[in-house]
C-alpha cells in the first residue's frame, strides 16, 4: 500500500523546503524528543479539559481545538521556534519580506469523530487565488499522541497542490494517512488538500497544529489577543517578532508614529524606525530601489 514520504530528523532545512515545493508535504520523523511532548501535555492538560467540543462538521463535533499556545505553554514556545522549522520557513517563505505565526492549536480528535471534509488551508484567506508558485503558508501538525490510521491520522492527497480541482473533487481512495511516531511532524503547504480522519479507536488523537505565513497577510489566530501584554513582555525578541511584533513588509504593520512594533513592548530600547537592512532577496532589492527613487 502506498505511503507518504518520510525523512529523518537530521535532514537539512533546505532539503525539507525543496520537498515541500515538489510534493506539498513531508513527514520528519522524531524531530523533537518525547520528553518535550510530555511537558506540553502536562502544561496544557487543564486547558484540554476546559475546551468545548466543536459546533459544526468542519471543526468537528467530537473534536476539541485548544488555542493560545504561546501564552499557555512555555514548552510550546520551544516547539514553535524549533530550529529546523525556522530554517524551513526562512527558505520556503523567503520570497516575502518576513514570516510570522499564523495559528497555534492542539487538535484533539475524540473516539467516534467522523472524517473532516477535505480542504486547503490557504482558503482561509477569503479563497484568494494565489498563483501556483506563490506559497503563503508553511504548516505543521506535530504528533502529541500516538498518530495511527485508526486514531484519525491526518489524510493527505498527494499531488493535489497542483491544478484546479476543488477539494471535494478528490475521492476517498486518493487520500493517504500521515501515520507517524510521537514527536514527529507533518509539514505541509497551504495548497495541498488534506483533513483529519475518522477516529475509530478508543483513544484521543492529539496534534499540535502550528502554522506560519508570510508577514503581509492577516493571521488566522489573533496573537495580540491570544498573548496578553504581560505575557508578551516575558518573551524573547525573536518570538515577539514571530507572533507579529515586526513589520510584515515596508510600511506594513508599523506601530504608532511609524515605529518598529517591538517598541510597543521594549520601548526606547528598540531603534525608532524601520530597518530595511533586515529585508533579504527580492524584497530587499525592491526596498532599496524604492528608497533610491524617492530621493
Q: Residues near 179 by Cβ (< 8 Å), separated by ≥ 6?
A: 3, 147, 148, 149, 153
**Following DSSP, what letter does each residue of 215-227 receive, concatenated?**
TTSPPSS-HHHHS
Q: What's the rounded Cα separation, in Å, for the pair 211 and 169?
A: 25
What's the length of the chain? Answer: 295
**Mean per-residue pLDDT for 247-268?**
90
Which percentage of the chain shows pLDDT scores above 90? Answer: 85
The predicted model scores a pTM of 0.93
The architecture that CATH gives domain 6-224 is Sandwich (2.60)
Tens digit of each residue's pLDDT (9 = 90 or more) over 62-114? 999 999 999 999 999 999 999 999 999 999 999 999 999 999 999 999 999 99
With a cut of 90, say whether residue 11 has pLDDT above it: yes
Burial class (CB in 10 A: 0-12, 13-18, 19+), 223: buried
Q: Are 72 and 44 in contact (CB under 8 A)?
A: yes
Q: Virtual CA dihedral for 253, 256, 262, 266, nearest 10 degrees?
A: -170
Q: Where are the domains of the chain?
A: 6-224
Q: Are 155 and 114 in contact (CB under 8 A)?
A: no
Using pLDDT thresholds of 50, 70 and 90, give the confidence band for residue 284. Answer: low
Amino acid at each position: 500500500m502506498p505511503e507518504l514520504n518520510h525523512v529523518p530528523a537530521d535532514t537539512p532545512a533546505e532539503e525539507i523546503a525543496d520537498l515541500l515545493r515538489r510534493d506539498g508535504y513531508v513527514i520528519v520523523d522524531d524531530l523533537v524528543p518525547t520528553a518535550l511532548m510530555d511537558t506540553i501535555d502536562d502544561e496544557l492538560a487543564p486547558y484540554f479539559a476546559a475546551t468545548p467540543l466543536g459546533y459544526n462538521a468542519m471543526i468537528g463535533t467530537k473534536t476539541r481545538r485548544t488555542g493560545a499556545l504561546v501564552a499557555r505553554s512555555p514548552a510550546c514556545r520551544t516547539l514553535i521556534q524549533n530550529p529546523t522549522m525556522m530554517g524551513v520557513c526562512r527558505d520556503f517563505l523567503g520570497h516575502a519580506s518576513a514570516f510570522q505565526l499564523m495559528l497555534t492549536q492542539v487538535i484533539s480528535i475524540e473516539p467516534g469523530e467522523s472524517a473532516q471534509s477535505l480542504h486547503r488551508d490557504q482558503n482561509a484567506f477569503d479563497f484568494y487565488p494565489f498563483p501556483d508558485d506563490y506559497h503563503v503558508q508553511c504548516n505543521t501538525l506535530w504528533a502529541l499522541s500516538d498518530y495511527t490510521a485508526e486514531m484519525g491520522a491526518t489524510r493527505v492527497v498527494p499531488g493535489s497542490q497542483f491544478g484546479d480541482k476543488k477539494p471535494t473533487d478528490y475521492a476517498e481512495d486518493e487520500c493517504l494517512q500521515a501515520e507517524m511516531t510521537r514527536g514527529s511532524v507533518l509539514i505541509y503547504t497551504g495548497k495541498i488538500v488534506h483533513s483529519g480522519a475518522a477516529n475509530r479507536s478508543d483513544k484521543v488523537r492529539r496534534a499540535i497544529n502550528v502554522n506560519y505565513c508570510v508577514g503581509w497577510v492577516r493571521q488566522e489566530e489573533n496573537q495580540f489577543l491570544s498573548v496578553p501584554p504581560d505575557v508578551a513582555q516575558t518573551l524573547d525578541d525573536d518570538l515577539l517578532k514571530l507572533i507579529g511584533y515586526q513589520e510584515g513588509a515596508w510600511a506594513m504593520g508599523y506601530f504608532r508614529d511609524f515605529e518598529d512594533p517591538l517598541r510597543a513592548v521594549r520601548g526606547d530600547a528598540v531603534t525608532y524606525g524601520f530597518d530595511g537592512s533586515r529585508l533579504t532577496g527580492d524584497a530587499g532589492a525592491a526596498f532599496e530601489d524604492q528608497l533610491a527613487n524617492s530621493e
